[in-house]
Structure 1
Amino acid sequence: MTAGPPLPERAAETSAEHPWPVRVLSLKISDYVEKMSALWVEGQVVQVNRRATTAYLVLRDPDVDMSLTASISVHAIAAMGTPLVEGARVVLQAKPVFWPKRGTLVLDARQIRPVGVGDLLARIEILKQRLAAEGLFDADRKRPLPFIPRCVGLVTGRESAAEKDVVENARRRWPSVRFAIREVAVQGAGAVTEVTSAVRELDANRDVDVIVIARGGGAAEELLPFSNETLLRAVSEAVTPVVSAIGHDVDTPLLDFVADWRASTPTDAGKRVVPDAAAERDLMDGLLSRSRGSVLRRIEQERHRVEAQRSRPVMADPAAFLLRHRELVSALRARAHERLSARLARESDQIGHLARQARALSPQSTLDRGYAVVQHRNGMVVRSRLDVDAAELLRVRVADGDFGVEAVGRSH
């Protein structure tokens, strides 16, 4: 039987014509993982299966939905000094192992140690400082809560007292309030993922005007999901205002700093997200009473002003007011007529004087006094005897007409 072409040595040398079989890829991965040294890894225990000498743990990343299986001796677990329970945060010293037949990566653990509450709180403090430096806690990014929300989104534990506190107190204040409730795990391995998903789902719902994240009190390690960076960033990116109602006054998870408003308890959150209908009704009644009083006072003021106007003499006898003005108008008309007549008389005298002057200076007046005007045939006035030729026919104009004459000779 003829042997086929040799398989590529490296992944970069494979092609569609020369691929690796699945077994080769698995062996290559196994060889690569085998070269890794032992390391320390941290996670949250979500499942423990104990056998005779070996225990199998499902170790989950608390921030994302990712997990690995680890095997460890029951004697190593006993050496922890504290019971290993589901939900505990631990660190393992383990060697990664890849099982080629199954195609899975597992951890062969040698040591296991619990992560103490002090260590977790120290990490939370470091995260708090980092997020504060980024501005996630700044007051100017806090969004105001709506006065009357159309719908309140509530993220809380399944059948929890926190849910009852929020809903009952809100409906006691505003009976018609609607809720979109998402019941999720609020502690343990899946808390961060479920709460984050619920927040994002409600934030995408345009009918939801405010989101409340509520949980009752508990130990510090039980409230750790509400100081998780993934959840905090999801809340900071939400468009909808978020209310943090975790635990009691003494409990301060980092969610309290990122949320737009912090409620001291779930009961306080129920009172904060909606107004008090009775108080608002009393306020409206007070405003209506004040408005009514203001209107009545204004009407009374205007009535007094009208009465004061009506009591004036001019309003008591309107004709007297008109009579006074009629007399004034008559006097003004008489004065105007007198002045106009005087002016017309003066101007008439002036016109007569000018007419007399015009008549005295006119040529006709000169003719009336016995003078005559002698003109050539062409109409030119004879101004000198030297202008007249012998036997020239001249025109003579006198006061009552004209006639022609003939020059008989020129006098020298």
Structure 2
Amino acid sequence: MTTDAPSSTSDSPWPVRVVSQKIGAWIGKLGWIWVDGQVAQITRRPGTNTVFLTLRDPSADLSLTVTTNRDVVDLGAPGLSDGARIVVHARPEFYAARGSLSLRADEIRQVGLGELLARLEQLKKLLAAEGLFDRARKRRLPFLPSKVGLITGRASAAERDVLTNARRRWPTVDFRVINVAVQGTSAVPQIIDALAVLDRDETVEVIVLARGGGSTEDLLPFSDEALCRAVFACRTPVVSAVGHETDVPLVDFVADVRASTPTDAAKRVVPDLADEFRLIGQAKQRLDRAMSGLLDREQHRLDAIRSRPVFARPLTMVEHRASDVTQLRDRATRNLNHRLDRASTELEHTLARLRTLSPLATLERGYAIVQRPDGAVVRAAADVTPGDEVRVRVASSSFTATVSGTVSGNSEG
């Protein structure tokens, strides 16, 4: 890389004048530019036509000095005062004697209300297109926050309204209040810093951004792009309570909840203790009625159950069953006796038949059974020979006999 001038080294350093000249040369290359800002201070020195302005960035803690001619100010922005929004046509200059940077302006235009509103409308469309107004990302406020962060002006009516109304609704509510400038050149940086402090505080569950009413110009800080983006980036839900009900700065669209007034913000961040007691009383009454109704229905059901015969006279069922058991037992007894009687009769008949067919019955009529010693029954005279011993069985006993002789045929012997 080549340069037109020799490089500075430790052996050959540049003098301060050379550095100042080079800085001035580089700054001079920027040329004439249009700069937008807010007048933080205006100084008109007596006996000279030179006017000094301190031009501040509304969204940052940055400022530049603007030097111009009194005629330029009177022509482009007559009646210019601190806090006014202007556009200057200027050229940056480096003043080597003091090592300072300033802008030399040859034209100043004061931004009118119409132009400001047009710029705000363009910014509103831009932020809406980026999703900063999206309802889907808005968070619900906690029912009863442990601590509420409040950003507002020092000893302002807005601070008094929020604190008084919130403590009237819930006496033990805890606040962390940060007082900031709510209008002017330092408002936006201070509010952004306060938001960052409260957002880092883990005990703060909701942040209220409050300011009383004012003109459109007074409320401009709450439509600043940097502030809107800071509110959007907060992890803690933010409530915007800026101006009156008809005032709608851009921060209202970005905040999670928009309150019409600081008093309305107090009503939104904490519940009303009296209302909660009333709701608890109503809930208790509904619960009592529900429990009474339930108990009455169950008592009626129990009464209906107890009125049934089986519960009114529990022994009735047992008595019926006992009667059934007795009848069944009697019937079983009769059936068994009948069967026993019939079996006894049949047994007697069988016994009679057996007796009739039994050899004993024949023996009782005078007959006898003759058996040889081997037990064989003598059926014919030829079955024995004289001298044989036989056993003679009669009805009640038996005896032995010796065969003396035999008689053949049917002759009696």
Structure 1 residue 148: Cα displacement:
0.7
Residue among 20, 28, 31 paired with 2:22: 28
Whole-Å Cα distance in 2 between the matches of residues 61 and 335 of structure 1? Answer: 117
Whole-Å Cα distance in 1 between the matches of residues 214 and 329 of structure 2? Answer: 102
Shift in CA distance, 219/325, structure 1 to aligned 2, threshold 3 Å: same
Give the secondary structure class of the aligned counterpart of 1:298: helix
Q: How many residues were matched structurally?
A: 332
Counterpart for residue 43 of structure 1: 37
Whole-Å Cα distance in 2 between the matches of residues 22 and 292 of structure 1? Answer: 90
Shift in CA distance, 36/294, structure 1 to aligned 2, threshold 3 Å: closer
Q: Does 1:160 pair with 2:165?
A: no
Structure 1 residue 38: Cα displacement:
2.4
Whole-Å Cα distance in 1 between the matches of residues 277 and 11 of structure 2? Answer: 80
Structure 1 residue 29: Cα displacement:
0.6
Whole-Å Cα distance in 2 between the matches of residues 332 and 48 of structure 1? Answer: 123
Give the secondary structure class of the aligned counterpart of 1:135: coil
Shift in CA distance, 125/334, structure 1 to aligned 2, threshold 3 Å: farther
Unmatched segments (≥5 aa) in structure 2:
340-413
The letter for the 1-side match of 2:263 is T
Alignment of 1:222-301 (within 5 A): 222-301=218-297
Structure 1 residue 305: Cα displacement:
2.2
Q: Summarize deviations over 1:168-195 as a string: whole Å, max 9, x none.
A: 1111111111111111011100111111
Whole-Å Cα distance in 2 between the matches of residues 50 and 335 of structure 1? Answer: 135
The letter for the 2-side match of 1:32 is W
Give the secondary structure class of the aligned counterpart of 1:167: helix
Shift in CA distance, 304/118, structure 1 to aligned 2, threshold 3 Å: same
Shift in CA distance, 88/81, structure 1 to aligned 2, threshold 3 Å: closer
Query: Scaled by the length of structure 2, what TM-score is found?
Result: 0.75
Q: Summarize deviations over 1:369-399 as a string: whole Å, max 9, x none.
A: xxxxxxxxxxxxxxxxxxxxxxxxxxxxxxx
Whole-Å Cα distance in 2 between the matches of residues 213 and 203 of structure 1? Answer: 12
RMSD value over aligned CA atoms? Answer: 2.5
Shift in CA distance, 17/314, structure 1 to aligned 2, threshold 3 Å: farther
The letter for the 2-side match of 1:42 is D
The letter for the 1-side match of 2:319 is L
Counterpart for residue 64 of structure 2: 68
Shift in CA distance, 336/62, structure 1 to aligned 2, threshold 3 Å: farther
In percent, how many aligned pairs have the same letter? 51
Counterpart for residue 132 of structure 2: 136
Shift in CA distance, 334/48, structure 1 to aligned 2, threshold 3 Å: farther
Give the secondary structure class of the aligned counterpart of 2:178: strand
Whole-Å Cα distance in 2 between the matches of residues 202 and 127 of structure 1? Answer: 26
Counterpart for residue 353 of structure 2: none
Whole-Å Cα distance in 2 between the matches of residues 82 and 334 of structure 1? Answer: 131
Please say which structure displays the higher CA radius of gyration. Answer: 2
Q: Does 1:98 pair with 2:61?
A: no
The letter for the 1-side match of 2:23 is I
Structure 1 residue 82: Cα displacement:
2.9
Shift in CA distance, 69/81, structure 1 to aligned 2, threshold 3 Å: closer
Shift in CA distance, 304/92, structure 1 to aligned 2, threshold 3 Å: same
